[in-house]
Amino acid sequence: MGYRVTKAGHPRQDFAGEVVTRVKELVQGTCVKHRVLQNSLKMYDKFEQVLRLENLLINVRDFKVFRRREGDSDGPMEYLRLRKSVADMHRRARLGQKINERYAEVLATVEETTPLGELARGLGQPTTWKGRAARALNPLAPADVQLLEAISRGEFMLNGFRNRDLRVLLFPGCQSAEPTEAKRQAAKVTRLLRLLRAHGIINKVPKTHRYQVSAEGRRKITALLAARNANCEELLKAA
């Protein structure tokens, strides 16, 4: 829904909401509804033919819009609280569309019909990026698993992540590291980012120092982590 979380993935201390999910079986089909802070996101099908996604934003105090302050038509543009009036209707529509798109993108990874071997084929082979060689990724190696889990965290879904964000996750206690050690850690994360870009897992956000997981990368990471966390019985059933 776009609510900000801490670097650890937890809600902010001033966040008083709770996500509640309900499933209803209706004559027309099944409805799955998520509610948080008077705002809701639901998915339902009609006679198992059409899947629809809808959201309703009632409490918009945590959303921002780029505008001038009311009564100051000549003032600077800045990010201010979203208003309920029609003046910010364009922003509300954009927010709602983005919410639905993110939900649909994640839903698309739930039922992945592509065999796992085919999804991971390119990751297990060395490649090149901008004329430089890049090693293969090993989805079973602890270091590579830690990297994939870090970039797929929920707090990075909206605005992506930076080198410093990954350092906090990959190197606990890096905030108190000596300048020489901090520089070494930053250089290592830079190499890891280059590796992920070479395999098409992440893309750089233009004109920023941020990166986001690509749609194809999210499919691969979701499938690989699910397979890694599955027990032997589940894997044998799939086989």
Q: What token pair was written down for 23? A: 């499933």
Token pair 């033919």: residue? 49
Q: Which two tokens stand for residue 137?
A: 């990724």
User: pLDDT higher for 14 or 222?
Assistant: 222
Average confidence (pLDDT) over 58-76: 87
Take residue 116 and report the two structure tokens written for it: 């796992």
Q: What is the mean pLDDT of residues 165-192?
A: 90
pLDDT of residue 8 exceeding 70? no
Q: Could you tell me if residue 200 is left (phi over 0), alpha (psi between -120 and 50 degrees) or otherwise beta?
A: left
Give residues with Cβ within 8 angstroms of 102, minimum separation 6.
Answer: 157, 158
CB atoms within 10 A of CB 94: 12
- Whether the Cβ atoms of residue 213 and residue 202 lie closer than 8 Å to each other: yes
Question: 59 or 157: which carries more pLDDT confidence?
Answer: 59
Please name the amino acid found at residue 121.
R
3-state SS assignment for residue 66: strand
pLDDT band, very low/low/confident/very high, at 79 (cuts 50, 70, 90):
confident
Nearest to 53 by CA among 27, 28, 26, 34: 34
Q: Which residue in the block uniquely carries the two structure tokens 């980012």? A: 193
Percent of the chain at pLDDT > 70 equals: 86
The tens digit of pLDDT for each residue in 111-134 reads 666 666 777 777 888 898 888 899
Span 48-55, average pLDDT: 85
Check pLDDT > 70 for residue 157: yes
What does the DSSP 8-state code read for residue 193? H
pLDDT band for position 32 (cuts 50, 70, 90): very high
- Predicted local confidence at residue 4, as pLDDT: 67
Is residue 5 exposed (0-12), middle (13-18) or buried (19+ Cβ within 10 Å)? middle
- At residue 204, the pLDDT reads 92
Which pLDDT score, from 0 to 100, does residue 112 have? 60
When the pLDDT of each residue in the chain is averaged and rounded to a whole number, the result is 84
Q: Where are the domains of the chain?
A: 20-107, 116-238
Q: Are 59 and 38 in contact (CB under 8 A)?
A: yes
> Could you give the C-alpha distances from 203 to 12, 109, 170, 193, 218, in angstroms and in order?
28, 19, 20, 9, 12
What secondary structure letter does DSSP report for 5?
B
Q: What is the DSSP string of 146-167?
A: HHHHHHT-GGGTTT-B-HHHHH
What is the rounded CA–CA span in Å between residue 8 and residue 23? Answer: 29
> Within 10 A of 181 (CB to CB), how many other CB atoms are there?
12
Give the architecture (CATH level 2) of 116-238.
Answer: Orthogonal Bundle (1.10)
